[in-house]
Structure 1
């Protein structure tokens, strides 16, 4: 029912999806960029529903104060994290989740915010490398009304080269607010 709703919304609004996760891919870090709007969340939930895969995402624990929001974020795959604590090894704790589960698609926005940032956060890369899972690169292109699966990428351990390659995949992909996105 939810899938049909999102399919209808995509058709009415002129959005389309190119690509998908491999059917045999059980674990990965799925990165989405550019992340420039709250609408990206809705677009992501709709896309994964249409494509019939489940995904988790990290969300700051502060939004878990309200019971209704807690239910909603749990239902949509949210994993609350304390981003401000220096005592928590966030990468390590997420890697443990990958090790404990038979399947896990973890969605992360490399910018870590909807605002413009000079540099991407590297947690997604470090998680994928330590968990020994591929990175699936997805673009949300509002100018073309397109959700596009750009590449499945295995991190090599050379973060500088790998990050340059991944960022290069987003050339021409325009977020809802292009001035805030990948440059």
Structure 2
């Protein structure tokens, strides 16, 4: 109820008026049933633009840091993310990450659309980085299609480190659903997961026109931070 009300009464009218998002391929979003929406990740605002454009509710795997804040701001974030149906994602690895993926799988088995950013974090420089295996594991375990999405220009609206969005027009290109039925019997095979993930990233690259870099974005961010503070 909160998601529908906030979207229709507040968020969508504001976003559509200010940023005038354009979209191609909206008919590739299924009107019912589960699917994964796998998108490039350029800006914090990506998780606002996708739900505004997509008619159905989208549940996102969001980093669990948003649930850990303190004080009034932390309480507000926890309430907002819970009320909007988002799922905390622990990216530390091991059992914690597996439990987060299990929550995403449950959402898919309940018939929801699940939004995920395969890169795992925002691109530090506008390029497309290597996808992590979680998207493939979810697609194969829940046996659902993956819909590749390319966000265009959201990094100009809210670059990393900027809290106040800039007024820029943004776009979204939604690709055709991708089916991986031939891999369904190998959901826990890392070679199968890598093959599926790379195929998804290839489609996102084709839609977005981004330069592809075959390393994890998180590694690049760590290197950039180390260069800033060599101590």
Q: Give the TM-score taking structure 2 as reference length.
A: 0.63
Count of equivalent residues: 171
Match in the other structure for 1:153:
178
What stretches of structure 2 of length at least 5 have no aligned partner?
69-73, 155-168, 184-191, 214-231
Matched, 1:3 2:3: no
SS in 1 for 2:30: coil
Matched, 1:171 2:206: yes
Pairing of 1:51-130 with structure 2 (within 5 A): 51=55, 53-65=56-68, 66-84=74-92, 86-88=94-96, 89-90=98-99, 91-99=101-109, 101=110, 103-116=111-124, 118-130=129-141
Q: CA RMSD in A?
A: 2.8
Larger Rg: 2
Query: What does the per-residue CA deviation read over 1:143-170, in whole Å, with 9 as the maximum and x for residues that have no partner?
Result: 9832121120112324454444323322
Instruction: Give the number of the structure whose residues are more often strand, by fraction.
Output: 1
Q: Summarize the Cα distance change of 1:84–1:161 in structure 2 as closer, same or farther, 3 Å threshold.
A: closer
* In structure 2, distance between residues paired with 1:149 and 1:172: 8
Which structure has more helix as a fraction of its residues? 2
Task: Choose from 3, 20, 23 the match for 1:17.
Answer: 23
Gaps spanning 5+ residues in structure 1: where?
Answer: none
Match of 1:29 among 25, 31, 36: 36
